[in-house]
Amino acid sequence: MDAVLAHRSRPSLIERRKAALRLDIARQAVRLFVAKGVGATTGDEIADAVGISSRTLWRYFPTKESCVRPLLTSSLDAVTALLRDWPADTSLLDHIARALRVGALAPPDPAILDLIRMTTADPALRAVWLQAHDDALPALHTLLADRAGTTEDDLRVKVHAAVLSSALRAAAEDFALHSAGADLSACLETALSAAAEGLPY
């Protein structure tokens, strides 16, 4: 029965191909945005770089800026998956630190770092970045509610999820902007420690 459920929950070949295409579009969009600038890049150029028609591109994404979303959501999905394996007897900081030590999180993707750097300067990309974090909140609500033994509509859980999401976003931005001399684990530890302090003002 478990094998049947696992098979049903596994994405189909068509879904996997669509996901791969979306990721390819995202990577080509970032490459062009870095090379030419967001404003100077067109949807037609992104489609040409991927080898698809513009019509196909617009079936997947409503704007050229939204083309980058799969790269942003892939990194958020990795963190959410990590939190699903968070042991009950381990603090969040210890769990993240251990995951980084054992390589449970993949090394930062240079394309994602380029993209995060651009989100700090381009309003349209910033909107996509913030929306991706906002869309990830329900999963964090569920994880934290289960851990706390309460419900997802508990206001404290919603606040904790928002704080955690903001801390992860701030750490990613800080690391992307200073990656030449920064350490990802140190950025995460600093951001999560600040979040755990609450508001000491």
CATH number at residue 116: 1.10.357.10
49-76 mean pLDDT: 95
> Do 121 and 41 share a domain, yes or no?
no
CATH number at residue 40: 1.10.10.60
Q: Are residues 41 and 95 in the same domain?
A: no
Q: 17 pLDDT band (50/70/90 cuts)?
A: very high
Q: For a pLDDT cut of 70, what percent of the chain falls above it?
A: 94
Residues 97, 43: one domain? Answer: no
Q: Which of 173, 119, 164, 170 is nearest to 145 (CA)?
A: 164
pLDDT per position as a tens digit, 117-148 = 999 999 999 999 999 999 999 999 999 999 99
Last residue of a domain, one of 67, 88, 117: 67
Which residue among 39, 67, 95 closes a domain?
Answer: 67
Give yes or no: residues 82 and 178 share one domain: yes
Same domain, yes or no: 113 and 142: yes
Considering the domain architecture, whether residues 51 and 122 belong to the same structural domain is answered as no
Summary mean pLDDT of the chain: 89
Over range 1-14, report the average pLDDT: 62
Residues 73 and 59 in one domain: no
- The pLDDT assigned to 51 comes to 97
Q: Are residues 60 and 152 in the same domain?
A: no
Q: Using one digit for the tens of pLDDT, what is the confidence trace for 148-187? A: 999 989 999 999 999 999 999 999 999 999 876 678 888 8
**Residue-range definition of the domain harbouring residue 33:** 2-67
Residue 80 to residue 140: CA distance in whole angstroms: 7
- Please enumerate, as own/partner, the contacts of 179-188 that have beta carbons within 8 Å and a separation of 24 or more: 179/108, 179/113, 184/100, 184/108, 185/96, 185/97, 185/100, 185/101, 188/96, 188/100
For residues 119 and 82, state if they share a domain: yes
Its pTM stands at 0.86
Q: Please tell me whether residues 140 and 46 are part of one structural domain.
A: no
Do 147 and 117 lie in one domain? The reply is: yes
Q: How confident is the model at residue 99 (pLDDT cuts 50, 70, 90)?
A: confident
Domain count, the chain: 2
Q: How many CB atoms lie within 10 A of CB 123?
A: 9
Q: Phi/psi class of residue 10: alpha, beta or left (left: φ > 0; alpha: ψ in -120 to 50)?
A: beta
Whether residue 56 sits in one domain with residue 78: no
